[in-house]
Amino acid sequence: MAVIFAKTPKGHAEIGTRAGGLSPRVRRVLIFVDGKRPVAELRGMLQSDDLQHTLGVLEEEGYIEAVGVSGPAARTLALEETLPPLAAFRLHPPGDDPLRLQQARNFMLNTLNAFVGALGTSSLQQRIEAAANQAQLRALFDEWYHAIVASRDGRREAEHLRGKLLEVI
């Protein structure tokens, strides 16, 4: 099943006013979201390596919302019948779990070293090491993801790596 997103009133206003300061790439994704096309179709139209992440950011900031899913028989179902809204980060129990925090920190550092190398990401790596809680690591998620996508090998694995990190962060 493929999720279908539609613009919210804030998303429609952003198209006309550009008040949100979205980057051209993110704005392009917002323009193509129409409440009819599933994510798979958008992926084919936009050629974006980080489409899933961009959609998550647009949803979190209130520009788009999931309105349904399309099934294999091309039947569109209301979202309430199928899935909760898509969000970039999972909800975890209150408080920081030290094991989960260390797992996320190690994953971010190891993937940066493997796909990008220490030379170009030393500042980011220092901030990841210094992160004292999940919120601080989550604040570094976008920068980590863009560093991964910027490398040739990382670009191929970006969605898989993103999913693995989102399991613990």
In the chain, the domains with their CATH numbers are: 2-81 (1.10.10), 98-168 (no CATH)
Using pLDDT thresholds of 50, 70 and 90, give the confidence band for residue 6.
Answer: very high
Rounded average pLDDT over 75-83: 47
117 backbone φψ class: left, alpha, beta (φ>0; ψ -120 to 50): left
Using pLDDT thresholds of 50, 70 and 90, give the confidence band for residue 79.
Answer: very low
Which candidate, 73, 64, 91, places its Cα nearest to that of 2?
Answer: 73
pTM attached to this predicted model: 0.51
Using pLDDT thresholds of 50, 70 and 90, give the confidence band for residue 87.
Answer: very low
Rounded average pLDDT over 23-28: 89
**Average of per-residue pLDDT values in the chain:** 81
For residues 50 and 58, what is the distance between their CA atoms, to the nearest angstrom? 12
User: pLDDT tens for residues 110-165?
Assistant: 999 998 887 778 899 999 999 999 889 988 988 888 888 778 777 778 778 888 88
Instruction: Report the length, in residues, of the chain.
Output: 169
